[in-house]
Amino acid sequence: MIVSASRRTDIPNYYSEWFFNRIKEGFVYVRNPMNPHQVSKIDLLPQVVDGIVFWTKNPEPMMGRLEELAAYRYYFQFTLTGYGKDMEPGLPHKKETLIPVFQKLSGKLGRNRVIWRYDPILFNRIYTPEYHLRAFTQIAEALKGYTEKCVISFVDAYAKNRRTLKNLGAYELIGRALMEFASKLSETAGENGMTVGSCAETMDLAACGIAHNCCVDKALIEEITGYKIKAGKDKDQRPECGCVESVEIGAYDTCKNGCLYCYANSNPASVRKACGQYDAASPLLCGRVTEADRISARAVRSLRIM
């Protein structure tokens, strides 16, 4: 089993104590977002977990406890963009804090296990293509030698963020302008020792030197575990997504980063309500089991090919 921690929220930044308690107790409860009273109990013992993929914009709160994960294999998807506080109000300063955190984490784990995400890319009157190219170059130069891959995506409109994107004046780059922009990103990354992959994009950017990426990456997991795994495409993700199957342990409406383009939060009130229920000792993230809940053990196993 591969654990996703998490596409739905920033566990390393806000819920690392809860996560380490779940590792210590060897299981976690996860609500079905489509049927909230359906709760799965998921085994987290090392013998069934082939790898953990952490998704975060700031892993610093958990970095002092990484030795507690000695029995596990894992890597980080670390998002670092050029946006300011107007877009990402909950994050610390990029140059002063987050880039040094990235460098330190890479020093601990190795540059193959810390992947830089410059996503989502949103264009408007402030965040123009020229702005993004300058920001991307500055970050790429700072991360040279600290990562091998950059993952990009272009912002998508969902029910939860469509109105916000409209208010931001977001627009798409298309045709030749898009290809020129993507080519410049790829060229800059290459100059700094990185390849670029696209995340869940329908467009073909191969001519720009950008391949379709697998964020939950079978090849990388095999590299860091030292054994082959049997894992197919994740059927719960969009057709364009290249990720292999994983088990998600996060919860929507619990991320406090406050990013305006976010698709995982409904609104600030929902986040405040959910976060008010946070208990680091609870098997559930930001919640407790009620009498109406039905708990069932999810069958999980190692994907190792024997």
Q: What is the mean pLDDT of residues 224-231?
A: 96
Reported as a pLDDT band with limits 50, 70 and 90, residue 162 is: confident
Q: Which of 28-32, 155-159, 242-246 has the lowest mean pLDDT?
A: 155-159
Reported in sequence order, the residue ranges of 167-221 that DSSP labels E, i.e. its strands, are: 195-198, 210-212
In this predicted structure, the answer to whether residue 16 has a pLDDT above a threshold of 90 is yes
- Residue 204 reports pLDDT greater than 90: no
For residue 197, being part of any structural domain is answered with yes
Element (H, E) at 296: strand 294-297
Provide the pLDDT for residue 194. Answer: 98
In a domain, 289, yes or no: yes
pLDDT at 165: 85
How many structural domains is the chain composed of?
A: 1
Dihedral sign for Cα 260, 263, 269, 274, please: negative
Task: Say yes or no to pLDDT of 158 above 70.
Answer: no
The 3-state DSSP class for residue 16 equals helix
Residue 125 in any domain: the answer is: yes
Q: How far apart are the first and last CA of the chain?
A: 15
In a domain, 157, yes or no: yes
Contact 252/264 with Cβ under 8 angstroms?
yes
Task: Please give the model's pTM, rounded to 2 decimal places.
Answer: 0.95
Report whether pLDDT(135) > 80: yes
pLDDT for residue 138: 98
Is residue 210 pLDDT above 90, yes or no? Answer: yes
116 has a pLDDT exceeding 90: yes
| pLDDT single digits (tens) 240-278 | 788 999 999 999 999 999 999 988 898 999 999 999 999
Output the six-digit token pair for 263. 């698709």
With respect to residue 38, please indicate whether it lies within any of the assigned structural domains.
yes
**160 against 112, higher pLDDT:** 112
Other C-beta atoms closer than 10 Å to the C-beta of 289 total 15
Could you tell me if residue 304 is inside a domain? no
Task: Calculate mean pLDDT across residues 27-53.
Answer: 96
Mean pLDDT of 182-187: 97
237 pLDDT above the threshold of 90: no
Does 83 map to a domain? yes
Q: Are strands 74-79 and 114-121 parallel, antiparallel or unpaired?
A: parallel
Q: What DSSP string describes 219-282?
A: HHHHHHHSS-B---B-TTS-TT--PBP-EE---TT---S--TT-SS-S-HHHHHHHHTT--TTS
Task: Give the tens place of pLDDT for each residue, 169-180.
Answer: 989 998 999 999
pLDDT on residue 209: 93
* Count of CA atoms in the C-beta half-sphere (13 A) of 144: 12
What pLDDT sits at residue 297?
Answer: 96
User: What is the reported pLDDT for 157?
Assistant: 66
Q: How confident is the prediction for the chain on average, in pLDDT?
A: 94
Q: What is the pLDDT of residue 201?
A: 82
> What whole-number distance in Å separates Cα of residue 48 and Cα of residue 271?
32
Give me the pLDDT at residue 159, please.
Answer: 65
For 6, the domain range is 2-297
Tell me whether residue 246 is in a domain.
Answer: yes
Confidence of residue 15 (pLDDT cuts 50, 70, 90): very high
| Structure confidence at residue 108 as a pLDDT band (50, 70, 90) | very high
